Amino acid sequence: MTIQTLEPHLVESLRQSAREILETMVFLVPREITAMAEEHCSFEAEVIGLLGFTGTRSGTFVVRTDEAMAKTVAAKMLMMEPAELGSFQEAADGFGELVNMLAGNFKNAWVAGGNQMDLSVPNVIHNGSVSVRSESPGSLRSRVRIILDQGTLDIGVHFESKH
């Protein structure tokens, strides 16, 4: 099956949103942000942030990384060092907020094209696996990989089939 990807302007919006949020809200400067094919719709990672959406099309926003990067993101947002976080739950809260901000910015680009999107609340999974529904014909999925000095983040947008 050929993987259908988002329109180029939406992928570019995702790249720009990721850069803006990381630089202004997390105080991390990406070395590289690359659009990539999202080959899979099942994931295993130390930290997976999910945010479902409905509207013109339903789907899931997926952000994944390792635990150290999730802690770094949360700590930077709180202007702390990762070692200062009391528990992984604090890191999960901060990482969930990152997922929320990224999805919110992507929503703006989607809605600007005449679409509707209603976002759910983010969910952060620690050391787990997830499968989203983006394999059937008519599904769309894309991702960007962000390389930072501190680690890597993968941000994917998965639209379910219209049928």
pTM value is: 0.92
On whether the CB atoms of residues 148 and 73 are closer than 8 A, the answer is: no
| Cβ count within 10 A of residue 108 | 11
Backbone angles phi, psi at 139, to 5 degrees: -75, 155
Backbone angles phi, psi at 75, to 5 degrees: -65, -45
Structural fold of domain 8-159:
Chemotaxis protein chec (3.40.1550)
Q: Report the distance separating Cα 153 and Cα 163, nearest Å.
A: 31
Domains of the chain, by residue range, sit at: 8-159
pLDDT at residue 137, rounded to an integer: 78
pLDDT class of 102 with cuts at 50, 70, 90: very high
Backbone angles phi, psi at 155, to 5 degrees: -120, 120
pLDDT digits (tens, 9 = 90+) for 104-162: 999 999 999 999 999 999 999 999 999 887 777 778 899 999 999 999 999 999 998 87
pLDDT tops 70 at residue 163: no
Q: Report the distance separating Cα 113 and Cα 54, nearest Å.
A: 16
Q: Report the distance separating Cα 99 and Cα 124, nearest Å.
A: 9
pLDDT digits (tens, 9 = 90+) for 14-30: 999 999 999 999 999 99
Alpha-carbon distances of 56 from 44, 73, 112, 160, rounded to whole Å: 28, 31, 12, 11
